[in-house]
Amino acid sequence: MNMNFYLKDGELQETGSYFQREFPKLAEVAIEHAVQACKNLFRVPFSMDTNHWIDLGEPVNWLHNPSKDLEFTWVLNRHWYMLDLGRAYLMTHNEEFVHTFMKHLRGWREQNPVPVSPLYEEAVFFQKPGPWRLLEVGLRVQSWISAYKYMEASTTMTELFRAEFKAALAEHAQYLTSYLGNTEINHAIMHMQGLFMIGVFYHEHPRASFWRQFAVERLSLCMTRQIDADGVQCELTTHYHNGSIEMFGTPYWLGKVSGHPLPEAYGSRLRNMAAFTHAMIRPDGGSTAVGDSDLIGSSAERLALLGAILDDTTFIKLGKLSAEILWLFGRERYEKFKELQLDSIAGAPSSVAFSNTGYYFMKSEEHYLFFDAASMGGAHGHADALNMEWMWKGTLLFLDPGRYTYEEGEWRRYFKSTRAHNTITVDGLDQTPYLSTQEWDVPHAACTVNRWISGEDYDFIDASHQGYMRLEDPVLHRRWLLLSKKSSAIIIVDWLEAKGTHHYEQRFQLPTSAAVQHCEERSPSEGLQSVIAYPSNLHLHMYWQTSGDQPAPFTVDCEQGWVSEIYGIKAETSTLVGKGTFTGARGIVTLCIPEDLCEHKERPQVTRLEIDAACQNVHVSFTDSTGLHHVDLDPTEIGWKDSKEE
């Protein structure tokens, strides 16, 4: 008989013991969650109650929601906590966890019978926060099957319950084949991920082969429609791209081990996703939180998972092992993966462009810079055209703020807004008008990349967006960004073109660990200067100069901002804001020079900082720890000259 799960029974028991030794903190959390679940107490991830134990009563009320966040009801009904019940059982052999699994599943079925002819919109989309949205159906059966397999050897689990369990899976499979979600968004992957798992696990059911075939065809369609030529998932967010690796990848691996392999073309497209996943790995192991993503997301773990699924040693070596890999592949394979990583040697970082998508990564031994010239990417995108995130010597200097919540309200609007990102706002407006938590108005801000140059001495990008061209007096924002690979500096040049008068803000989001020491005017010809202190004895020196006479002077202030490391949690931080008013055309050049105080060298000095909006010329001369540098920029040429200080 073919295997009906990722690991055999003996391997699961071995994995549980190894998990406790290899991941003691995660094992402790799993046992705690299982113990609390026995008391009908739950923490619901990706909701506004992530950090609170919620009592759902006896019997459990699966529709209770203590908040206004619809995600609470949806996530609760995915039954992810049942994985903890099963894993805790493998570690402790406590039969109470099996009793709770059986009681909760039976209670859930009694309270939530299969709907009779629900409206298509209720089954597929967001109108009704209940347990039978297709997304929850697809995810819930995966939780059920995994928890069942972890507890399968228990004598507490009766034959009557086993029959009830399979009947529940058949109900879910019927539902998943009755209402089909749009294959152009990530929900459809999870629908079919669950259906394929039912077809493999419940292989003796008369319709099992149909379920598997149906799921494979739909998954292949999702792969074709959602992964673009760059290998990037169509919603253009770190979170959903990395999530798609698991959604597409686990059925591919399950198909291999069960004797029901997916097409090789499917595996090839899965492999195409690796380049972007690898590019997103920052020197600190984190990932830029593009769109609806969390700051603590890890592309490194997804890259290793992809390597394990595809049996690609390069991806395994470049990535980071995780508990998820252990539970999918077992102790023996996991230890082989560890040996591979011990032999790996990190290569020199290299810049990479995903020009079809619009994402650009500028990298050197000291720099990591992400530049966003992509389209909106749909409901999970943010109004962040020409946004950037920058890290130097492993310290994050400017960051993307994360997502915080999907709950409609001021916080959802803030974290999706233009002013929450490292770009320019015009007249206090978003680049794309906000409608609701999952909907943008039209027109969406469209980006154009005019120049991309990547060389030995520097990387340079020249891009613009049309988000503010919708205004009665249209405004074009064009940004040049040059990163020096031979020095510590970056140069940002923002061009604003209109006929009338507009107010603008140039915004830089700082991590919570940063402190703005001062902002001051050096002289009318030298512009403004600010110094920002970071941990590890790093200072960032920022210098501004603007072009021509304008209705009001350019100023730089420090304002309160917000960042969110993970869904449901936010923290105050500082935002550096350059403000001004312009009529006609305006140029702002910003020179950023980080300084490592541990090097005990002279502070950076700027000897020239000039910008001409009429000719679109920029001239910069400065010194840092690497010497004296002269830079000339215009719409067609880049002049860069280095020399040692005399």
Span 229-269, pLDDT tens digits: 999 999 999 999 999 999 999 999 999 999 999 999 999 99
Q: b/e string for 471-504 if b means 16 or more Cβ within 10 A? A: eeeebbbbbbbbbbbebbbbbbbbbbbbeeebeb
Cβ contacts of 237 within 8 Å, gap of 6 or more: 290, 291, 292, 293, 377, 380, 381
**Does residue 128 or residue 595 have the better pLDDT?**
595
Give tens-digit pLDDT for 379-391.
Answer: 999 999 999 999 9
Least confident range from 230-239, 301-310, 601-610: namely: 601-610
Instruction: Say whether pLDDT at 2 is over 80.
Output: no
**What is the pLDDT confidence band of residue 624, given thresholds at 50, 70 and 90?**
confident
Tell which CATH classification among 3.40.50.720, 3.40.1160.10, 2.70.98.70, 3.40.50.880 matches the domain 352-643. 2.70.98.70
Say what the pLDDT of residue 254 is: 98
Min mean pLDDT across 10-19, 326-335, 515-524, 561-570 is at 515-524
How is residue 410 annotated by DSSP? H
Cα–Cα distance for residue pair 344/282, rounded to 1 Å: 18
Q: Is 265 helix (H, G, I), strand (E, B) or coil?
A: helix
pLDDT digits (tens, 9 = 90+) for 34-88: 999 999 999 998 887 777 899 999 999 999 999 878 889 999 999 999 999 999 9
Query: What's the maximum distance between 2 C-alpha atoms anywhere in the chain?
Result: 87
d(Cα 481, Cα 459) in Å, to the nearest integer?
8
pTM beyond 0.85: yes
**Confidence category of residue 526, pLDDT binned at 50, 70, 90:** low
Q: Report domain extents, the chain.
A: 1-164, 352-643
Task: Kindly state the average pLDDT of the residues 468-481.
Answer: 98
Whole-number percent of the chain with pLDDT over 90: 83
- Please choose, from the candidates 423, 434, 430, 411, the residue with its C-alpha nearest in 3D space to the C-alpha of residue 570: 411
**How far does CA 224 lie from the centroid of its chain?**
21
pLDDT at 646 over 60: no
What is the tens place of the pLDDT at every residue in 574-592? 999 999 999 999 999 999 9
Give me the pLDDT at residue 645, please: 47
Per-residue confidence (pLDDT) for residue 21, from 0 to 100 = 97
Structure tokens at 303: 């890259």
The rounded distance, in Å, linking the Cα atoms of 317 and 327 is 19
According to the model, what pLDDT value does residue 185 have?
87
Q: What percent of the chain has pLDDT over 70?
A: 97
Q: Cβ-count burial of 558 within 10 angstroms (0-12 exposed, 13-18 middle, 19+ buried)?
A: middle
Which pLDDT value is given to residue 126? 57
Q: State residue 500's pLDDT score.
A: 95
Residue 523, pLDDT score: 62
pLDDT given at position 69: 81
Query: Taking the domain 1-164, which CATH number applies?
Result: 1.50.10.100
* 1-164 and 352-643, same CATH topology: no
- Among the residue ranges 118-122, 527-531, 563-567, 622-626, the one predicted with the least confidence is 118-122
Residue 1 has a pLDDT of 45
pLDDT over threshold 80, residue 551: no
Reduced to 3 states, what is the DSSP secondary structure of residue 89? helix
> Could you read off the pLDDT of 157-193 as tens digits, one per residue?
999 999 999 999 999 999 999 988 889 989 999 999 9
State the pLDDT at residue 258.
96
Q: Which position has the token pair 């369990």?
A: 165
What is the C-alpha to C-alpha distance for residues 481 and 458, in angstroms, rounded to an integer?
A: 10
- Find, among 33, 65, 29, the residue nearest to 47 by Cα: 65
Residues 188-210 have a mean pLDDT of 97
Mean pLDDT of the chain: 93
- pLDDT on residue 524: 59
Question: Is residue 100 scored above 60 in pLDDT?
Answer: yes
Tokens matching residue 581 = 């008013």
Q: Work out whether the CA dihedral 15, 21, 22, 27 comes out positive or negative.
A: positive
